[in-house]
Structure 1
Amino acid sequence: MSTGFFWDERCFWHGGGNFAGMLPVGGLVQPMASGGLPESPESKRRLMNLMDVTGLARELDLRHAPEATREDLLRVHPASYLDTFKATSDAGGGELGRRTPFGPGGYEMAALSAGLSIAALEAVLRSEVDNAYALSRPPGHHCLPDYPNGFCLFANLALAIQSARAKGLVERVVVLDWDVHHGNGTEAIFYEDPNVLTISMHQERNYPMDTGDFADRGRGAGKGFNLNIPLPPGTGHIGYIATMERIVLPQIRAFNPDVIVIACGYDAAAIDPLGRMLATAETFQVMTQQVKALAQDLCGGRLMMAHEGGYSEVYVPFCGHHVLAEMAGSDITAPDPFGEVFPLRQPNAAFDRFVDGVLDEMLAAL
């Protein structure tokens, strides 16, 4: 099996300015020793380091890609936004939206991040690789067409999908977003599109706090083709796998896509600073196993993932290694250093029954 891995060192050079966590430094907010936003390059770079050390990187098809062109970007983002972003980037950087600061060269780095996703999806659809993973940074699933949001400057996956559609490579696409935060940008872009089924399973009212409701099912021709699955904090491994089995996988099967695309965030992991969901590296591995098998049944194995959130520099590398080893069908492992502790911190049976009740209500309303 051939798994394409698309990455570029320059994506690690994107900077988020003088922040302490989610707060701008100043007043009573003291700078942190680590500096900057939680969306730092280190969790991604350390994933690359771990794959080098275990040898998994040598089993992947490592590739680079060019920046997304202006033509690519205009398929989602208006010219006014591109022009303002480029001018601000050339002038040394700034912030155009909500929690999206960038430095000089930020436009080019974001275009490169989008280019990695575009190339990864195209490689899958052209059967150059069996499946593919884009180590995109900055991430993309919060970005609206004209408004950057939540660390996201371009809508990476939406751009990849629209590029592939423009080239006649695909018609029906599922976007499954398991980042801990609602994929509001992807939802907004495809909200009226019946050929793109968007599914977001996220921590309820985490970020953005005003989007992600189960009742938001799409509009016009796209009615019924958007599915939000807001889950309670602390859902844990059993709850995530139950959500996949009872709701997500049947919905994807019913839609019968040409390709499955994953917004692959690791911030639902147990020690992530921006999430409270108690998922483990095994959780992400099992979910990958599930969608990989379903893709094999439905669409010739065509599966593509793009890296989204995940802010634990310690744990993201192990979660990502579990996912990529599963994608590649590799026997190489990076044992979870929290493999004994995190299972003991999972919710008890009473909470699992509560989550089952939440899922029952959603299923009854579908």
Structure 2
Amino acid sequence: MTRKTGFLCDESYFWHNTGNGALFMPPGGWIESDVHSENPDTKRRFKNLLERSGLMDHLTQIKPRPATLDDIQLYHDYEYIERIRELSEIGYGDAGENALVGKDSYGIAKLSAGGAITAVKAVMNDEVDNAYALTRPPGHHAEADLGMGFCLFNNVAIAAKYARKHLGLERILILDWDVHHGNGTESAFYDDPNVMFISLHQDRNYPPERGSAEHTGTGAGSGFNINIPLPAGTGNAGYLHAMKEIVKPVADQFKPELVLISAGQDPSMFDPLARMMVSAEGFKHMTRFMMNIANKHCEGKFVACHEGGYSSAYVPFCSHAIVEEMSGVKTEVEDPFAQALHTLPTDELYSTQKEYINKAKEIQSKYWNL
């Protein structure tokens, strides 16, 4: 069944300048100048593939608007916002921990946060059935007063808080499948029972001190923060097992009115900043799984916001598979790397992966019927 899927992007997103460096380290000393990991190539190549395959012709284009200062202050401190603006005017700086700001990054980051809001509004106003927001810079690491891990403003957190305040939503589910823990989004809702945050991530990758299964929320938000750390090497089978064992039964009890995905395609096999083994087919199945939850509880209201993913060759195919599943439109594009992956254990569930998932399940069983 085809659906009316919105697609949000803006050329400005590709103009956010993170400078150069090896992976994420600035050049100098023994580090030769190279391309920074968080560069526009992965996202631009994804957009290009949508156009080349013809899938873009089936999508409803959504134009983002910049977030206002009031919108951004739904989560971020005014002093931090001003720091981003000042660094942007200077033309270069770090907003915290590997959160580089270039010339015009302040305006672009406002448009990125505003893009997430715009996508949510389009879905909630029934302009589209679901939406994919190809925003940049990413957001899920950004804390209220600190940029981290390439993130300036927390796009998904701001959009969720906007939906609570201005769209009247009572229950929002955020699933973060980026390979790195969404620490900023966790912080935004750690004591909030109205926004359930679930993070599937590689155990102790980044930030290494965040994302423990024991971190379940505080006060009224206890049990509404769910971390599912996974061991290196987890592939399609492990991710889907975690979703079946924990995400689905918890979501069925929470009954969200909107499902938001922090869609980082860095759990993929070829990502240079992670060690997971998810294929394009795996991302398709994960998308289908979460869309089924949205279909069951909130009339399919589902928004995916792009986060990480640093393999410029493979992220486009993983992301394309997600949008195919969201729209119900199958193109002629096949995963060109599938043949190289077919001998690898992406679809095998190992006992170590089960142990990690069972530990998280046991912890969450204190709050939910699992």
| Residues 347 and 294 (structure 1), Cα distance of their counterparts in 2 relative to 1, 3 Å cut | closer
Alpha-carbon distance between aligned partners in 2 of 1:161 and 1:19, rounded to the nearest angstrom: 33
Q: Give 1:43's aligned residue.
A: 42
Question: Is the Cα contact below 8 Å between 2:84 and 2:101 reproduced in 1?
Answer: no
Counterpart amino acid of 1:357?
E
Percent identity of equivalent pairs = 43
Structure 2 regions of 5+ residues with no counterpart? 365-370
SS of structure 1 residue aligned to 2:277? coil
Q: Give 1:115's aligned residue.
A: 114
1:165 equivalent in alignment to 2:164: yes
Alpha-carbon distance between aligned partners in 1 of 2:351 and 2:318, rounded to the nearest angstrom: 26
Q: Give 1:361's aligned residue.
A: 359
Q: Give 1:52's aligned residue.
A: 51
Q: Give 1:283's aligned residue.
A: 282
Q: Give 1:7's aligned residue.
A: 9
1:82-231 aligned within 5 A: 82-231=81-230
Counterpart amino acid of 1:95?
D
Which deviations, in whole Å up to 9, do the C-alpha atoms of 1:57-103 show, x marking residues without a partner? Answer: 00000121111111111111111111121112112221120001121
| Residues 327 and 304 (structure 1), Cα distance of their counterparts in 2 relative to 1, 3 Å cut | same
Question: Is the Cα contact below 8 Å between 2:265 and 2:308 reproduced in 1?
Answer: yes
1:284-363 aligned within 5 A: 284-346=283-345, 352-363=350-361
Which deviations, in whole Å up to 9, do the C-alpha atoms of 1:322-352 show, x marking residues without a partner? Answer: 0001000112242001112213122696x61
Q: How many pairs align?
A: 362
Alpha-carbon distance between aligned partners in 2 of 1:95 and 1:131, rounded to the nearest angstrom: 34
Question: Is the Cα contact below 8 Å between 1:325 and 1:333 reproduced in 2?
Answer: no
Alpha-carbon distance between aligned partners in 2 of 1:271 and 1:346, rounded to the nearest angstrom: 14
| CA apart distance, 1:353 | 2.3
Counterpart amino acid of 1:13?
W
| Residues 298 and 348 (structure 1), Cα distance of their counterparts in 2 relative to 1, 3 Å cut | closer
| CA apart distance, 1:361 | 2.6
Deviates more, 1:229-238 or 1:74-83: 74-83
SS of structure 1 residue aligned to 2:245? helix
Which deviations, in whole Å up to 9, do the C-alpha atoms of 1:122-161 show, x marking residues without a partner? Answer: 1111111100111010000000011000000001001111
Deviates more, 1:57-66 or 1:225-234: 57-66
Q: Give 1:31's aligned residue.
A: 33
SS of structure 1 residue aligned to 2:272? coil
Alpha-carbon distance between aligned partners in 2 of 1:360 and 1:174, rounded to the nearest angstrom: 22
Structure 1 regions of 5+ residues with no counterpart? none
Q: Give 1:254's aligned residue.
A: 253
| CA apart distance, 1:106 | 0.8
Q: Give 1:236's aligned residue.
A: 235
TM-score between both structures, scaled by the size of structure 2: 0.95
SS of structure 1 residue aligned to 2:200? strand
CA-based RMSD: 1.2
SS of structure 2 residue aligned to 1:20? coil
Question: Is the Cα contact below 8 Å between 2:139 and 2:153 reproduced in 1?
Answer: yes
Question: Is the Cα contact below 8 Å between 1:68 and 1:112 reproduced in 2?
Answer: yes
Alpha-carbon distance between aligned partners in 2 of 1:21 and 1:280, rounded to the nearest angstrom: 22
Question: Is the Cα contact below 8 Å between 2:237 and 2:347 reproduced in 1?
Answer: no
Alpha-carbon distance between aligned partners in 1 of 2:171 and 2:347, rounded to the nearest angstrom: 39
SS of structure 1 residue aligned to 2:244? helix
SS of structure 1 residue aligned to 2:31? coil
Alpha-carbon distance between aligned partners in 1 of 2:115 and 2:158, rounded to the nearest angstrom: 11
Alpha-carbon distance between aligned partners in 2 of 1:213 and 1:203, rounded to the nearest angstrom: 11
Counterpart amino acid of 1:227?
I
Alpha-carbon distance between aligned partners in 2 of 1:362 and 1:147, rounded to the nearest angstrom: 28
Counterpart amino acid of 1:355?
Q
Alpha-carbon distance between aligned partners in 1 of 2:191 and 2:27, rounded to the nearest angstrom: 40
| CA apart distance, 1:227 | 0.4
| CA apart distance, 1:170 | 1.3
Question: Is the Cα contact below 8 Å between 2:231 and 2:352 reproduced in 1?
Answer: no
| CA apart distance, 1:163 | 1.4
Counterpart amino acid of 1:231?
L
Q: Give 2:367's aligned residue.
A: none
Counterpart amino acid of 1:362?
A
Which deviations, in whole Å up to 9, do the C-alpha atoms of 1:291-350 show, x marking residues without a partner? Answer: 11111111111001100000011000000110001000112242001112213122696x
